[in-house]
Amino acid sequence: MLRVICLGIMGCLPVLALAGPVDINTADAATIARELNGVGDSRARAIVEFREKNGRFASPEDVLKVSGIGPQVLKLNRDNIRTGQPAKAQGTP
């Protein structure tokens, strides 16, 4: 049983590793869906539609304003979400 669980977990690792950095302010829906874990076509389209209606995302956390995007999606993708803004160094105002 443990072997089956381990094989299942190992089988998921390549999928998680395929995600890559994506600028949610410039990418099209297909790119967003391809690069972010847990974001399919409909969620990716919602991100693009939100951006077109409300303007640029200022930070990765702003993606939580999009209907259908919750904390788990942000947690899975925080390191890969770009907004075209340079990351702030810790301790820098």
The pLDDT tens digits for 73-90 are: 999 999 999 999 765 555
Quick one: what percent of the chain has pLDDT higher than 90? Answer: 68
Total structural domains within the chain: 1
Q: What is the pLDDT of residue 20?
A: 84
CATH number of residue 45's parent domain: 1.10.150.320
Domain-located, residue 9: no
pLDDT tens string 21-36: 999 999 999 999 999 9
pTM over 0.85: no
Q: Residues 6 or more apart from 85 whose CB is under 8 A from it?
A: 58, 59
Domain-located, residue 69: yes
Residue type, 78: R
Q: Measured between alpha carbons, how far is 45 from 60 in angstroms, rounded to an integer?
A: 17
